[in-house]
Amino acid sequence: MKDKILIFIITYKASFRVLDVIRKIPFKYLKNKNYKILISDDDSRDNTIEFIKKIKKRYSSKIIVNFNKLNMGYGKNIKKCINYAYKNNYTYAVMIHGDNQYDPKYSSIMIENLIKNKSLSATVGSRMTKKMSAIKGKMPFYKFIGNIFLTGLFNLLNGTNFTDCHTGYWAYNLRSIKKNIFKNLDDSFCFDIDLRLKLLSEKKEIKEIPIKTFYGTERSSVHLVYAVRFFLKTISFKLFN
C-alpha cells in the first residue's frame, strides 16, 4: 500500500489567496501518490468560505473541507488537522498557510525528503538560507532582523544551526512523531516553536529546505508578543531541560 499524504491548508481571513495556494500545489508530483487535501478554516468572517466552496466544487474528489464554528487559534486548528491525519492513518502531513506566504510548490521537495530519509521527523521551509532572498520577497525589515537575532539565540543556546526558527511551513513524518507530542503544544501562534523544542528534546531530526517567500500588504498585530514568547520559551527550555 502506498504511503498516505495529507496536505492541509489552514485559513483565517485568507479570502481569494486560498485560490492561489490551491493553484500552486504540485499536482503533477502528487499524481501517482495516495493523497488528500484538507482545508481547515478557523471561523473566517470574510469571504474566505465562499472561495473554499468554489475549490471544493472544482476538486471535489481530492478536497476535504472543515469549517470551525468558533475561532480555535492557529495552533489548535493545526492540531485538529494533525488529529485527522493520525485518525485516518496518513504517513506524512504537510501544513500550508492559506494566505499564500509560503509557495506550495516546495511541498513536493519536503515530502520527498521524508520519504527518502526515514530518520527525519520533519522538514521545514527556510526563508533565510539566502537572506537577501527574504528581503526580495518583501519580508518586513523588523522581521528580518528579529528572525536573525532570535534564530541566532536559539542556535547558541541549543547547539543547533538552523537558519529560520520562525517558519510556518512544515512537513511531518507521522510514523516518527508520536501523536501525543502534539497534545500539549501551544494552541496559538507559538505552536511551531513548541514543536521544534519538543522534537529537539526527543532528539528528533529536523531538516531545512530553502524556500522563497512572499509577503503581501497585510501586517500581523502579534509579532511583538510572539517575539517575547519565543525568547522566553527558548530561555526556559535551556534552563529546565
Give residue 222's pLDDT band: very low, low, confident or very high (50, 70, 90): low
The candidate with the shortest Cα–Cα distance to 125, out of 177, 160, 93, 170, is 170
Element at 2 (helix H, strand E): none
- Domain-embedded: residue 241: no
Model pTM score: 0.94
Torsion of CA 5, 201, 118, 21, to 10 degrees: 30
- Strands (E) in 68-159, as ranges, are 92-97, 120-126
Contact 82/165 with Cβ under 8 angstroms? no
The candidate with the shortest Cα–Cα distance to 5, out of 19, 25, 24, is 25
- Domain-embedded: residue 60: yes
How far, in Å, CA of 205 to CA of 193, rounded? Answer: 15
The candidate with the shortest Cα–Cα distance to 214, out of 125, 148, 151, 154, is 125
- What's the total number of domains in the chain? 1
Rg (CA), the chain: 17
- Domain-embedded: residue 24: yes
- Domain-embedded: residue 197: yes
- Strands (E) in the chain, as ranges, are 4-11, 34-41, 63-67, 92-97, 120-126, 170-173, 205-210
The pLDDT of residue 152 is 97
Position 241 pLDDT exceeds 80: no
User: Residue 8's domain is classified under what CATH number?
Assistant: 3.90.550.10
How far, in Å, CA of 124 to CA of 95, rounded? Answer: 10
Contact 177/121 with Cβ under 8 angstroms? yes
- Domain-embedded: residue 223: no
Contact 137/214 with Cβ under 8 angstroms? yes
How far, in Å, CA of 125 to CA of 207, rounded? Answer: 9
- Domain-embedded: residue 26: yes
* Share in percent of the chain as helix, strand, coil (round to 5): 45, 20, 35
Grid cell digits, residue 66: 472543515
Range of the domain at 92: 4-134+166-218
Indicate the DSSP class of residue 60.
T
Position 116 pLDDT exceeds 70: yes
Position 7 pLDDT exceeds 90: yes
- Domain-embedded: residue 227: no
Contact 40/127 with Cβ under 8 angstroms? no
Mean pLDDT (the chain, rounded): 93
Grid cell digits, residue 30: 502528487
What digits encode the pLDDT tens for the residues 162-200?
Answer: 999 999 999 999 999 999 999 999 999 999 999 999 999
- Domain-embedded: residue 224: no
